[in-house]
Amino acid sequence: MSHPKRAEVFTRDTERTTWHDETLWFVRQKRDKAVYAVPEFQELRELASQIKTHTLSRLADYLEQFEAQAKANGVHVHWAANAEEHNAIVLDIIRQEKASSIVKSKSMLTEECHLNPYLLRHGVEIVDTDLGERIVQLRQESPSHLVLPAIHLKKEDVGATFFKHLGTAEGEVDPQVLTEAARQHLRARFLTAEVAISGVNFAIAETGSIVVCTNEGNADLAVNLARVHIASMGIEKLIPRLSDLSVFTRLLARSATGQPATTYTSHFSRPAAGKELHIILVDNGRTQQLGRPDFRASLKCIRCGACMNTCPVYRRSGGHSYDFTVPGPIGAILSPNIDMRQHASLPFASTLCGSCTDVCPVKIDIHTQLYKWRQVIAAADEIPASKKWSMRLLSRVLARPGMYELGGKFARVGLRFVPHALTHAPGYNPWAIARELPEPPPQSFREWFKQTNPKP
């Protein structure tokens, strides 16, 4: 199913669409307030962009530096070329530990690798500990937003899920009460977990450290209690210097939720005595994206979700309409790299309004990349045939003034005489589902001009 089809289904519930739009717009407004309060915010964006671009331009060197430092720190470093390799490494570590209780904090990479279903197939169950992720996990859904995984759900939905799985009272919808229930339920898991998996927000080449940012504290609680900590990271998470974090920590939370900082910004360099830290460096299509000059800037992404909150399409179509791990504008430029045919409709799920580019804290030219993916997708013949041929025809007409003048006249005159019911039939004219066509005037501008300015 394509994006427009799924989006159409989402918008059928008018009230929920309104709610979804307004809730995310509220997050965008919080972001604005935080951004306006930092006079150097635009300079920080530029610095962040330059640091990331620099890192990508010589990524292999930084990866080697990071690996050497991390190993010197007593960290186990693994490399995974793709999702399968990543998942196999995780399973192997779990089996070596003979672990049966495993918890995981927020990691979009493990979502991308479909780690949970993989482990389930091998008899290993993981409990997601981020509240939003736990909610969608219990509902057997996927996150619909990078930072707000359950933003597609209302408290009534969560209440029903917790009633079913956590034994809260039927009809309980108070977020305070529901969160407390999740706290109690998950605390038991934290206490017994043998292996804790986390994502990585930043990896510092010069020190071999990783940085994890959360508000809930679930990542730190989990990895500091379990004997084994597995941190999965895409290879694009690297930054060269510890001091570069000053730029990124100032941008991340403000862009994501409008907070001045995430509650916990944790730096892991060495495992505690008697414990293990494993870092898995994952490619899974990233080196391929690095090899596409028009699109490699997408690898600068720090997963703040600001482009989703600002996107007028995302806010009205919901994260699941993208049918990709990373939804929204950034997902629409990452997904064709993974599977162009499957995600062919995503770069077209945009008006190219450019707001995503303007909120992006690392200045990814998102809307320009959307435009460029459209060219690549059409050239690969992955757009609907009707569109392709009509565009070819249009080109012929528009390069020939005589044909154009005649064609325009036909359209205009045609519209004046064909009955409204026919020109506005929704089956033939998607424009007319909500809009009237322009009222065709008797005379075009060029006809008027000729008349008023006769050639001397």
Partner 1 sequence: MTATARERILAATRANHFEENPLPTVPQFTGDASVERFTEVLQSIGGQIVRIPVGQPLAEVVQQLFPAAGPVASPLLPATITIDEQTPTAVLDTVDVAVLGGIFGVAENGCIWLPEANMLHRALPLITQHLVLVLSQQNIVATMHQAYALVTDVGDYGMFIAGPSKTADIEQSLVIGAHGARSLTVLLTA
Partner 2 sequence: MKVALFIPCYVDQFYPQVGIATYQLLHKLGIQAEFPQKQTCCGQPMANSGCEQDAVPVYHHFVDTFQGYDYVVAPAGSCVYHVRKHFNIIEQTPAVQHVREATYDLIDFITTILGVTEIPGVFPHKVGLHLSCHGQRGLHQANESEMTPVRDGHLRRLLKSLDGIELTELDRNDECCGFGGTFCVSEAAISARMGQDRVQDHLRNGTRVLTGGDMSCLMHLEGIVRRQKLPMRVMHAAEILNGTIL
Q: Per CB under 8 A, does 150 bind partner 1?
A: yes
238/205 Cα distance (integer angstroms): 6
DSSP per-residue codes, 378-430: HHTT-S-HHHHHHHHHHHHHHT-HHHHHHHHHHHHHHHHHS-HHHHT-TTT-G
Q: Give me the least distance between CB of 119 and partner 1, in Å please.
A: 18
Q: Per CB under 8 A, does 18 bind partner 1?
A: no
Q: Per CB under 8 A, does 131 bind partner 1?
A: yes
Residues 284-343 that bind partner 1 (CB under 8 A): 287-288, 290-291, 293, 296
Residues 235-294 that bind partner 1 (CB under 8 A): 235, 240-247, 249-250, 253, 257, 259-273, 281, 283, 287-288, 290-291, 293
334 binds, among partner 1, partner 2, none (CB under 5 to 8 A by kind): none
Q: Per CB under 8 A, does 414 bind partner 2?
A: no
Residue 244, C-beta contacts closer than 8 angstroms, at least 6 positions apart? 51, 204
Token pair, residue 172, equals 């309980």
DSSP per-residue codes, 148-177: -TTTT--HHHHHHHHHHHT-PPTT---HHH
163 binds, among partner 1, partner 2, none (CB under 5 to 8 A by kind): none
Q: Per CB under 8 A, does 448 bind partner 2?
A: yes
Token pair, residue 412, equals 């205009």
CA distances from 362 to 124, 255, 263, 446 (A): 37, 10, 21, 46
Residues 164-183 that bind partner 1 (CB under 8 A): 175-176, 178-180, 182-183
Q: Per CB under 8 A, does 2 bind partner 1?
A: no
Residues 111-130 that bind partner 1 (CB under 8 A): 129-130
232 binds, among partner 2, partner 1, none (CB under 5 to 8 A by kind): none
Residues 31-70 that bind partner 2 (CB under 8 A): 32, 35-36, 42
Report the DSSP pairing between strands 126-128 and 202-204.
unpaired
Q: Per CB under 8 A, does 224 bind partner 1?
A: yes
Q: Per CB under 8 A, does 88 bind partner 2?
A: no
CA distances from 436 to 84, 321, 407, 417 (A): 51, 27, 21, 15
Q: Per CB under 8 A, does 333 bind partner 2?
A: no
Q: Return the amino acid letter for 308.
A: M
48/184 Cα distance (integer angstroms): 39
Q: Per CB under 8 A, does 420 bind partner 1?
A: no
Question: Alpha-carbon torsion 217, 219, 221, 224, what sign?
Answer: negative
206 binds, among partner 1, partner 2, none (CB under 5 to 8 A by kind): none
91 binds, among partner 1, partner 2, none (CB under 5 to 8 A by kind): none
DSSP single-letter state for residue 199: -
Q: Per CB under 8 A, does 196 bind partner 1?
A: no
Report the DSSP pairing between strands 209-214 and 202-204.
antiparallel
Interface residue with partner 2 among 243, 401, 420, 425 (CB under 8 A) is 401
Q: Give me the least distance between CB of 13 and partner 1, in Å please.
A: 16
259/250 Cα distance (integer angstroms): 10
**Using CB under 8 A as the criterion, what x/- string covers residues 353-392 for binding partner 2?**
xxx-xxx-----------x--xxxxxx---x---xx--xx
352 binds, among partner 1, partner 2, none (CB under 5 to 8 A by kind): partner 2
